[in-house]
Amino acid sequence: MLSSTVRRLFGRTAVTTTLGALAAGLSLVTPLATATPAAAASGTLQRVTDFGSNPGNLAMYEYAPADLPAHAPLVVALHGCTQSASDYHAHSGWQKFADAWGFAVVYPQTSTANNSLSCFSWFDSTKDTRDRGEAASVRQMVDTAVAQYGSDRSRVFVTGLSAGGGMTADLLADYPDVFAGGAVDSGIPAQCATTVSAASGCQYSDQHLTPRQWGDKVRDSYPGHTGPWPRVAVWQGTSDTTVVPVNGTELRDQWTDVWGIGQTASSTQNLTGGTTESVYDDSAGKPAVALFSVSGMAHGLAVNPGAGTDQCGSTGTYYLDSICSSYYTAKFWGLDGSGGSSDGSGLPAPSGVTVTAITDTGASLSWHAVSGAASYDVYRDGTKAGSATSTSYTDTGLSPGTSYQYTVAAVDSTGAVGTSSAPVTATTTGAAPPCYTDNNYHQVAAGRAHQSGGRTYADGSDQDMGLYNIAVIHTLKETSPGYFVIADPGC
């Protein structure tokens, strides 16, 4: 039996009450007007009823500012499971930047007729490959919108959340000749699964593929295409148990390999909401791939309600308050006219970051001073561990025999955080904590977890491991006797 989180993405039969609760907050927020391809939207979300043969049985919605100029960019935005075009338009923040920076947005919408939970079929090779099914319908929507608005075909982009993110990755692989860039939010690498039975493995597990193998899945989606390739932003929460964080790394590996660049970041910086941005430049020094890791964020789209320039969206089911992902995605694509540059305080990365001492539970660092720095933020495995006003820091409370990656960023007098340093690794002394990978039923039977109300919880930490059955597999790390934490995808 698949867990409820698997069913949200893949649309297997769901408990009716659960679906009702998920869908309750996702109803259409405003009545929708109807448009034909010849009619231009004017600052309202409208449905287009005729956009081609529509082999994927999707609905097309669109939004454009009333004063949209010709040759403007076009963004395609795909919702997640149980969501709708109107819901995504209302919460994601794309309307704000369409109005501010002048571009149109197309929102494809699937339905329960296609999938019991209204998920895009990113795992079905009859629907997510070039010129077939849902992928073909989205391509027809692009052609319709480009003709309607006179959009710039060299600036068409696609983004999506969860199952919509998985379909986004597939679309980028299917149509690198159509999309100049994309953003995969809490999603899956392109063509990770070609059947529904393989989908849960992609969702929950490291697929143990090399960057070349991941890249081949893209190259094989449209044989003969040699470039240019889309510029891809990847958004992943570190506490996502629905699409585990290794998917973000796999997406990074996939698209850096397609670009023919390494998996070592050209630059990193710390953004608001506990977000670390790692950028991978192409041979010309322009950002080609970016990985945004949001510390502590669960499964959903990162939003940051407010009136600030870099704020957007509203919270709701799978819309999580941390950072405005739409703002940083649009900047990465260059929709603001920046050409894809990133914000920052202007302070350079500290140099000379060195591990000066280690114990079984601690690590000490030092670095060279940065002119203009009021303090320094220290990050452990992408999460802020602490701050220092001097050029040294000691991190404590660590696990024995464990490797940790540290970066340091200078902070100016206004609190703006500069570019992060290159990472250094510290491995504490002593024996590494034992790890156990098994299904939830066996974890409970072995005394490492307990179940309550049909769900499983790690002993000690009480972290939610999902349903109490053999279909859900986790790795537990015993950080102290009888105290276990989830350590997916593995220690």
Where b means 16+ CB within 10 Å and e means fewer, 400-431 reads eebebebbbbbbbeeeebbbbbebbebebeee
| Cα–Cα dist 30/425, whole Å | 51
Look up residue 153 and give its DSSP letter: G
b (16+ CB within 10 A) / e for 189-221: bbbbbeeeeebbebbbbebebebeebbbbbbeb
DSSP state letters, 11-76: -----HHHHHHHHHTTS-SS--EEE-TTSPP-SS-EEES-SS--TT--EEEEE--TTPPTT--EEE
Residue 368, CB-side half-sphere exposure with 13 Å CA sphere: 9
Angle at 152 between CA 147 and CA 157, to 5 degrees: 100
Contact predicate 235/184, CB 8 Å: yes
C-alpha–C-alpha distance, residues 133 and 140, integer Å: 11
Determine which one of 4, 162, 293, 421 is catalytic. Answer: 162
User: Alpha helix (H) ranges present in 382-458?
Assistant: 440-445
Catalytic, 293? Answer no
Count of C-beta atoms within a 10 Å radius of residue 87: 24
Active-site residue list:
162
